[in-house]
Amino acid sequence: MAGRPVQIRLTLEGDLAIYEGEHVVASHQVVPDEPGWVTIPAHHAALWAQTMVVAQRPLAVYEEVAS
């Protein structure tokens, strides 16, 4: 969705919705006067899955380097 135009709608109840055309792509409850950031872990799950991949090697590789 990056680079595409979207509409932001804020309701009187304090809901913020992001639309691409008529499709809601995200919605959040606005948290006024809250210090710091409010995040939704599910929004970052794919990013963490990509960045937290750990290479797995046989121990023999490390034993060879250590000797």
Give the HSE-up count for residue 46: Cα atoms under 13 Å, Cβ half-sphere: 1
Decide if 1 is inside a domain. Answer: no
Residue 18 in domain = yes
pTM over 0.85: no
In a domain, 2, yes or no: no
The amino acid occupying position 53 is V
**Residue 19 to residue 16: CA distance in whole angstroms:** 10
Reply yes or no on whether the pLDDT at 1 is more than 60.
no
**Domain hosting residue 56, numbered range:** 7-31+40-66
> What pLDDT does 52 receive?
75
13 domain residue, yes or no: yes
Domain assignment present for 44? yes
Whether 56 is in a domain gets the answer yes
Domain count, the chain: 1
> Could you tell me if residue 25 is inside a domain?
yes
Structure tokens at 7: 């509409």
Instruction: Please report the sign of the dihedral spanned by the C-alpha atoms of residue 20, residue 29, residue 42, residue 40.
Output: positive
pLDDT digits (tens, 9 = 90+) for 33-66: 767 777 778 888 888 888 877 888 898 888 888 8
